[in-house]
Structure 1
């Protein structure tokens, strides 16, 4: 098999594994008698654990030649952590499951980025990673649709069973990628740097990550974006189900399917759009979509409201899923720290994503769902303000391929 086909299959099946039971967690726990604040708290605990794990996971991906092994182990452990929820619904067990799912799942993002970069090198990364995301979002569509139908037909137990099936297929897809198909120097961003006197390529220190101002601005902007964004999908599902506007499993599946279908389209066109208006412009579009999404969610808490609410999510998340990792590769090419850079960006944006469910849950419980959506949308405008305030420096960094062999400071 062409290893790129196996990579795309991995991205398809991994979609259902990486998030565990994902957005179904909220309605599943609600059916067990949990309140929104408690649901938000366990989601936040998982978010914090994932946030702390992503940078070390990225460093591990840069350092090891066993990237396929990382994906296999993470896939197995993430699947098991999700399945344990069917056995126990206690706060301690659910919290432990979310933490374990987040920690093991944190390795999957940098590992996939590293494997992709090692297979197609930096020149082919944007196109291939865009294809990865198309398959990933398509996997989310199929997984959500099957979960919704199985949950409606057979109960939540079928959703957990499907997660196990996708976990097995993730492992098989990973093993179909030949070991020699991955260039591990290219996988960490060293493919085109000059060698030292001994003839060996070398990486710069971790200091480069802290002196790369555009990378830090990108991470901070994404943190504010995800503070507003992360809680919207589970909260919107809870709001509509609480208003008796839909079946829990079927409606949650619908919210995912609508967003992921839009993400498939967005990911298909992301690379073309990047070439046309640049990374800065594409990411600006994603920041503009979220405040509008919060306003629409607050106004239309109905079964049909899922279409505009999740379509806006699809535009923002679909474009970001391609543009952000590709931009990190561009900023850090030549440092040998590309995957730990991916991890640092995920860590910082994870701060916002981790706090979002707790913030949204408390707002919804004390002030109502509509107020929660408005506040979450308003918070996210901070990312828009930061992106516009440093527009000149960011546009320059986003538009120039940076080679640390020639410019080790990255202080633009």
Structure 2
């Protein structure tokens, strides 16, 4: 993304991968075919985040990034709500094939949408945060960018611990609650997605407005604090009623981070020409935490039960909170509003 002059292709290719993945599942439910489709989907998901950030920066520059990224995330979560609602309705009425075809349709629409953006409207220097041409051709790895920049390292570590707890909480909570209400299991799972995504829309817009006045430090702190509270509530309310506070808190945490993290990385690395490598590095560390979470959470739940697992998973974010407070002086400077940055 940093070196490419054809940034739209990084959304076009994930769109194609989504269509291919849908087609593969329609053609066969063989283990290896389904696995391959999930690999394609994972590659698409990994590429599209930095791509949207890079294109957004290239169009609106640093000054307009906070507002536009907030709007992007609000529409992203709105799309998830519509997708979940349509999937539930079409799946109930026409079966799994309709859901797969819907995913393919959305993949095609994403390709059409991005190709409507004129390539000339994307400033490639602004998209990577370049201050001058120095070092443009250097081969810099994401790991090197991460290790050389203390604020970026603090942010990545805090996010890794947060997602180490967050990644498994919803799937385990869904399993625990659905096992108690088997007759409503499908509706329960659908509600877990819709409630969280609706709250994320509101949190994204709120986060955008808070950041304009007060910066990102408090936004990130609130997102970290939401997880221990969520874990405690989940441990005490494994029921349909408990779904609402658990998923509202999920929406607050994820919605605020979806606005703050890309903007914060862009602020920290502005002028380096390595913004998108930094985005990828932070996403990788964050992803390691999220990937380990289900294994850890599942093992804890198996050993000592769901309730204890939710408390322990929630309290992984306490490490994030401690890191955030311990490095408050450094991070508050980086998290200051754009006008003060």
When normalised by structure 2's length, the TM-score is 0.91
Match of 1:344 in 2: 281
User: Contact (CA 8 Å) 1:62, 1:336: kept in 2 or not?
Assistant: yes
Alignment RMSD (CA, Å) = 2.2
Match of 2:170 in 1: 233
- Distance between the aligned counterparts of 2:231 and 2:27, measured in 1? 35
1:278 aligns with 2:215: yes
- Distance between the aligned counterparts of 1:86 and 1:247, measured in 2? 27
Match of 1:113 in 2: 53
Match of 2:87 in 1: 147
Match of 1:188 in 2: 128
Structure 1 residue 212, shift from structure 2 partner: 1.0
- Distance between the aligned counterparts of 2:173 and 2:89, measured in 1? 19
Structure 1 residue 401, shift from structure 2 partner: 6.5
User: Contact (CA 8 Å) 2:146, 2:282: kept in 1 or not?
Assistant: no
User: Contact (CA 8 Å) 2:66, 2:211: kept in 1 or not?
Assistant: no
User: Contact (CA 8 Å) 1:236, 1:301: kept in 2 or not?
Assistant: yes
Q: Out of 105, 129, 137, which is 1:165 matched to?
A: 105
- Distance between the aligned counterparts of 1:143 and 1:78, measured in 2? 14
Structure 2 CA distance for partners of 1:257 and 1:329, relative to 1, 3 Å: same
Would you tell me which structure has more helix in proportion to its own residues? 2
Q: Out of 317, 322, 325, which is 1:385 matched to?
A: 322
Match of 2:68 in 1: 128
Match of 2:21 in 1: 81
Structure 1 residue 86, shift from structure 2 partner: 5.1
- SS of 1:281's equivalent in the other structure is helix
Match of 1:37 in 2: none
Structure 1 residue 383, shift from structure 2 partner: 1.0
Structure 1 residue 179, shift from structure 2 partner: 1.3
- Distance between the aligned counterparts of 1:167 and 1:139, measured in 2? 12
* Structure 2, unaligned runs of 5 or more: none
Instruction: Please identify, of 114-123 and 81-90, the stretch whose mean Cα deviation from structure 2 is larger.
Output: 81-90
Match of 1:175 in 2: 115
User: Contact (CA 8 Å) 1:74, 1:105: kept in 2 or not?
Assistant: yes
Q: Out of 340, 362, 374, which is 2:311 matched to?
A: 374
- Distance between the aligned counterparts of 1:275 and 1:152, measured in 2? 43
Structure 1 residue 337, shift from structure 2 partner: 0.5
Structure 2 CA distance for partners of 1:347 and 1:177, relative to 1, 3 Å: same
- Distance between the aligned counterparts of 2:202 and 2:337, measured in 1? 27
Structure 2 CA distance for partners of 1:310 and 1:400, relative to 1, 3 Å: closer
* Structure 1, unaligned runs of 5 or more: 1-60, 403-412
- SS of 1:117's equivalent in the other structure is helix
